[in-house]
A and B are shown apart, each in its own frame.
Chain A
Amino acid sequence: MQFFYHFGKYVILLTKVFSKPEKSKIYYKQTLKELISLGVNSIGIVIIISVFTGAVITLQTAYNTENPFYPRYLIGLMARDTIILEFSSTMVGLILAGKIGSSIASEIGTMRITEQIDALEIMGVNSASYLILPKIIASVLFNPLLTMISIAIGVFGGWIAGTATGVVSSEDYIYGIRFAFIPFYVTYALIKTVFYAFIITSVSSYYGYFVRGGALEVGRSSTKAVVYSCILILLFDVILTQLLLS
Chain B
Amino acid sequence: MIKVDHIWKSFNHQTVLKDISVEFEKGKTNLIIGQSGSGKTVLLKSIVGLLDIDKGEVKYDDVVYSKLDFREKKEIRKKIGMLFQGSALFDSSTVEENVIYPLDMFTNMSYEEKRERANFCLNRVNILNANHLYPSEISGGMQKRVAIARAIVLNPEYLFCDEPDSGLDPITTLRINNLIKEITEEFNTITIINTHDMNSVMEFGEKIIFIHIGQIWWEGTNKDILHSENEKLNDFVFANHMAKRLKQI
Contacts and interface: CB of A to CB of B under 8 A. Distances in A.
Contact of B45 (A22, A26, A118, A125): A118
A43 B75 CA distance: 43
B167 to A, nearest CB: 13
Given A118-B84, A126-B70, A26 B105 contact: yes
A116 B91 contact: yes
Interface string A111-122: 100111011011
B90 interface: yes
B50 interface: yes
Interface residues of B, number: 23
B220 interface: no
Interface residues of A, number: 16
A126 B73 CA distance: 11
B90 A123 contact: no
B161 to A, nearest CB: 12
Name which of A110, A111, A116, A122 has the most chain B CB atoms within 10 A of its CB: A122
Nearest to A121: B50
Given A22-B105, A26-B105, A116-B91, A122 B86 contact: no
B90 A122 contact: no
Given A118-B45, A118-B50, A123 B88 contact: no
A162 B75 CA distance: 66
Contacts of A110: 91
Given A114-B88, A115-B85, A116-B90, A122 B106 contact: no
A122 B82 contact: yes
B26 interface: no
Contacts of B182: none
Contacts of A23: 104-105
B27 interface: no
B105 A125 contact: yes
B142 to A, nearest CB: 16
23 contacts: A23-B104, A23-B105, A26-B104, A114-B88, A115-B85, A116-B88, A118-B84, A119-B84, A119-B90, A121-B50, A122-B48, A122-B77, A122-B82, A123-B77, A123-B102, A123-B105, A123-B106, A124-B73, A124-B74, A124-B75, A124-B105, A124-B106, A126-B70
Interface of A: 22-23, 26, 110-111, 114-116, 118-119, 121-126
Interface of B: 45, 48, 50, 70, 73-75, 77-78, 80, 82, 84-86, 88-91, 101-102, 104-106
